Amino acid sequence: MKIGTIVKLKKEMLGNLPGTLGVVFNVYDDFDYPDKLGAQVIFQNGDYDGFSIKEQILFLEDVGNHRKKLICRWRVKIDWIK
């Protein structure tokens, strides 16, 4: 996955239901498979997590890199008090 890729959750995670959209904001060398990339994703509720290549297959569906779709349909909720 590349930075900016929009993903959809396949399973419930971090208080997000299946179908929740997120965006990849960072990639890194996967710890178990150094020739593959792990991805950090931030979700609609503001929570974020890292996904190994195995976790990406299990939890994430790549729905593309559609900047207009992201801007029009998704706003990150940020809690500045925390």
- What pLDDT, on the 0 to 100 scale, is given for residue 37? 96
Cα 44 to the center of its chain, rounded Å: 10
Pairing of strands 48-51, 60-64: unpaired
In the predicted structure, residue 7 carries a pLDDT above the cut 90? yes
Closest CA to 24 of 46, 43, 45, 47: 43
In a domain, 79, yes or no: no
User: Is the pLDDT assigned to residue 36 strictly greater than 90?
Assistant: yes
Q: Which domain holds residue 18?
A: 6-73
Q: Is 1 a domain residue?
A: no
Q: How many domains does the chain have?
A: 1
Convert the pLDDT of each residue in 56-82 to its tens digit: 999 999 997 765 555 444 454 444 444
Contacts for 17 with CB less than 8 Å, ≥ 6 apart: 9
- Supply the pLDDT for residue 15: 85
